[in-house]
Structure 1
């Protein structure tokens, strides 16, 4: 059995979020490096405005709580009906290869979209998805027994692609129970686990910058450093928008984040 050594972690033991480990994305829009708006809804028609408010992300009982609320919010591009939070280690911690392990409890409700994922620290092969995206776990709030792990890669949109696999959890032990989600990433191989059980292995992907050039040599794009992202979205393409059955506030709870090599 492979022996992993802990190299980075957050156990959320303090009273406040550790800003030496996490920073916030703010607002509702994807922006370019100059701060100009590129696309609303984070590119997915999401309805929330991300904030750095302690109402949306805080530490309680040694756990990180990311809370989505139904309340009015604004950024410089517009106004929104929901607030939430998105935390990331970009610029603070990134890693190429290793074991990424997160113990979390995910919320349930139509239009609720929690995610634990990774993006490239530097877009070495070009903008999304040419430099890749690794989704350790996402869940549909309307499907409380299902999680999914996915990679995004390929060519420029709309010729981008993704591959992944869903896992059905046992009745009575769905996404709103505590589970340990893990990704083991080695050169040329990605493996996804829930509670120590392997449910998916991926070894095939590519990055192609244009039709006129060859693919970047494998195992690109998954041979660069990636950073970690934790967020709770409301609405969007993944699970649709909330409806009259969706309760607020919604909470995404994280007991720890640990990275091994």
Structure 2
């Protein structure tokens, strides 16, 4: 299986070198990777790894604890919960998240994730992407693509681009680095991205919502999006942006129906 995945990754990367920006504009996308979560109770570990605890806000409570993960009726449930008394972890909450790091990455194409988000004070579900390799150095030089973030009980989602250009050089208006879109997040929606060599087009239920272009005359750090990225999906809690969680609102979950990647 590892040999097969390596060959697949090489083929995908070779196929990604085209600078043809018309790819997909006629709807002729080819499905290259997917997960429908149809194997009851089993997370496919050839595709996904459970995200580990980290020092960043979003990763404060990440865990591989089984109660934060559930696959049933063709859906992946990622939970945010109050830590059970018998669990010896030292944090107040536990959250579940998965990533494709070291197992699948791609460069240019289209990705869509069908998901439903529950709301809670301090809930911060996210679908996002990071560079597979440190081509340009340490974060944030390789960029970050946030396909979807949702805060608390809001009726909108955030779609954002981060990079050295936006975070360090503070170039947040040339071009605008994020937008919001109205969404009934407690219904299933399809959160997506169309990624071309010269622009990122964010979508909601197949409709474009925000475009981030590659600028011709900007600092080179404006466009680190010329390399393979991997996917992360996580049910986050708390942080400086979203605020404190209310334990009375928990548990909360993000329910993922499917993930599909096209080129």
TM-score (structure 1 length as normaliser)? 0.81
User: Aligned to 1:88, which of 99, 104, 118?
Assistant: 99
Q: 2: distance between equivalents of 1:54 and 1:10? A: 20
Higher strand share: 1
The alpha-carbon distance between structure 1 residues 12 and 111, as it changes in their structure 2 partners (threshold 3 A), is same
Q: C-alpha displacement at 1:121, in angstroms?
A: 0.2
Q: 2: distance between equivalents of 1:161 and 1:71? A: 40
Q: Secondary structure at the match of 1:80?
A: coil
Quick check: 1:183–1:190 contact (8 Å CA) kept in 2? yes
TM-score (structure 2 length as normaliser)? 0.81
Q: Secondary structure at the match of 2:249?
A: coil
User: Residue in 2 aligned with 1:34?
Assistant: none
Q: 1: distance between equivalents of 2:234 and 2:259? A: 13
User: Residue in 2 aligned with 1:168?
Assistant: 182
User: Residue in 1 aligned with 2:38?
Assistant: 13
Q: Secondary structure at the match of 2:92?
A: strand
Q: 1: distance between equivalents of 2:233 and 2:112? A: 13
Q: Secondary structure at the match of 2:82?
A: strand
Quick check: 1:58–1:64 contact (8 Å CA) kept in 2? yes
Q: Secondary structure at the match of 1:256?
A: strand
User: Residue in 1 aligned with 2:16?
Assistant: none
User: Structure 1, residues 149-175: CA drift from partner, whole Å, max 9, x if none?
Assistant: 101012596545661100123xxxx11
The alpha-carbon distance between structure 1 residues 137 and 47, as it changes in their structure 2 partners (threshold 3 A), is closer
Q: 2: distance between equivalents of 1:234 and 1:205? A: 35
Alignment: residue pair count: 230
| Pair 1:232 & 2:258 matched | no
Quick check: 1:67–1:84 contact (8 Å CA) kept in 2? yes
User: Aligned to 1:193, which of 192, 199, 203?
Assistant: 203
Cα-Cα RMSD: 2.2
Where has structure 1 moved over 2 Å in runs of 4 or more?
A: 46-49, 72-75, 154-162, 214-218
User: Residue in 1 aligned with 2:225?
Assistant: 222
